[in-house]
């Protein structure tokens, strides 16, 4: 495995991203009923924002995951916690596995994404706000060093809902590095 990252091209990558965000397991992404045009529109807005951007994660050159990085002070999070200098937000969606699931793969992806964020010396903490019902991601977040803070109410991601109850969690560089122990089992 060799992960690399490139900026999402909203038009070129929309068909691929659409095939991912409309999968049942991606329900918390809030785009199950999205069209390809909806994906183009959403990622065009993200890429043009100046404070939020999307990256396609490649595994040996093959698209394998989508990650978004953002500055929390310009997001709805600014209304629910005291944003600190050096906070960076993150979203992650791993593509449907080609050839079947691989044990530990999503953990490896998550580690690569968090490591990329901490490669920026200005990043002090990584902030995540997954849906409070998404227990699988909470377990994964804790495995890479995220500490749950509180359940907060944010604007809805899913058009069928009025709001999102999110588990606000933080990961410091030290907490992340502490999870990279030799001999850890997956």
Three-class SS of residue 78?
helix
Lowest mean pLDDT among 24-33, 38-47, 168-177: 24-33
Arithmetic mean of pLDDT over the chain: 92
Three-class SS of residue 15?
helix
More confident residue, 35 or 158: 35
Contact 186, 103 (CB under 8 A): yes
Residue 186 predicted with pLDDT over 50 = no
With respect to residue 166, please indicate whether it lies within any of the assigned structural domains: yes
Instruction: State how far the Cα of 153 lies from the Cα of 172, in Å rounded to an integer.
Output: 23
With respect to residue 52, please indicate whether it lies within any of the assigned structural domains: yes
Instruction: State how far the Cα of 23 lies from the Cα of 65, in Å rounded to an integer.
Output: 13
Residue listed under structure tokens 């595994």:
59
pTM of the model: 0.92
We report the CATH number of the domain holding residue 56 as 3.40.630.30
More confident residue, 14 or 154: 14
Q: How many domains, in total, are found in the chain?
A: 1
With respect to residue 186, please indicate whether it lies within any of the assigned structural domains: no
Domain span at 111: 3-178
pLDDT digits 0-9 by tens, 57-91: 999 999 999 999 999 999 999 999 999 999 999 99
Contact 64, 58 (CB under 8 A): yes
With respect to residue 63, please indicate whether it lies within any of the assigned structural domains: yes
Q: What is the pLDDT of residue 184?
A: 54
With respect to residue 184, please indicate whether it lies within any of the assigned structural domains: no
């Amino acid at each position: 495995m060799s992960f690399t990252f490139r900026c999402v091209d909203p038009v070129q990558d929309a068909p691929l991203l659409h095939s991912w965000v409309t999968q049942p397991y991606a329900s918390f992404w809030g785009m199950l009923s999205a069209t390809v045009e909806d994906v183009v529109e959403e990622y065009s807005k993200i890429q043009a924002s100046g404070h939020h951007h999307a990256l396609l994660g490649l595994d040996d050159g093959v698209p394998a995951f989508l990650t978004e990085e953002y500055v929390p002070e310009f997001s709805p999070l600014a209304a629910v916690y005291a944003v600190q200098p050096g906070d960076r937000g993150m979203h992650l969606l791993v593509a449907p596995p080609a050839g079947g699931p691989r044990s530990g793969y999503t953990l490896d992806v998550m580690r690569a994404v968090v490591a990329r964020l901490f490669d920026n010396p200005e990043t002090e903490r990584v902030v995540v706000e997954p849906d409070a019902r998404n227990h699988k991601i909470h377990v994964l977040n804790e495995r890479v060093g995220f500490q749950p803070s509180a359940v907060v109410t944010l604007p809805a991601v899913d058009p069928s809902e009025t709001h999102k109850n999110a588990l606000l969690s933080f990961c410091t560089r030290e907490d992340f590095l502490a999870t990279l122990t030799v001999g850890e089992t997956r």
